[in-house]
Amino acid sequence: MNKKIFFLISLLSFLMLIILGMSNIFIEDIREVAISNNNIDSFNYHVLGEGSYKVLLPEDWIVEENYSNFDKELDVDFSNKQNIEGNIIILEGDLEEAIKLMLNEETGEMLRNSNEDWNIVELNKDNYINKYYIKQYSEGKVLIIKYSYKKGKVKNSMKVVFDKISNSFQ
């Protein structure tokens, strides 16, 4: 009887490990499908801030650095030339101050959630959605990546692309 129980527990444990291993493979495949579903073929690293930073963006997106903002350590605009515009900013301050600043500048419905690394603030105003990925970048500095798009013009799977861009910032 003990051998049967030991065998069943061993078999179930082995099957659980297989399921966990396979789920990681499927999650990566789902991300790749979501990216291709948004007509993105490949990504390229863009070096920013005179070589201090880099970010992974779809290869056909336009990237422009703004050098006129002396109060920001980094200010970069990007666009897919159609529906999505965004920018990357590094500000002096802390996380909660940056979130309050954004909420004071814009009105609309706010959805706030957070994942492991990012606080995500989504503001719905009129017919546009502004999605902010915010995190404490270093001591006294906040990284903000903003994605702006018109409602209904971007697929729900675009969140996977936004996550990939945000998580690639170095």
Secondary structure of the chain in HEC code, one letter for each residue: CHHHHHHHHHHHHHHHHHHHHHHHHHHHHHHHHHHHHCCCCCEEEEEECCCCEEEEEECCCEEEECCCCCCCCEEEEEECCCCEEEEEEEEECCHHHHHHHHHHHCCCEEEEEECCCCEEEEEEECCEEEEEEEEEEECCEEEEEEEEEECCCCCCCHHHHHHHHHHHCC
For the chain, the structural domain boundaries read 1-37, 42-168
pLDDT score at 15: 92
Report the top-level CATH class of 42-168: alpha beta
pTM above 0.85, yes or no: no
Residues 29-58: tens digit of each pLDDT: 667 766 666 667 778 888 887 778 888 888
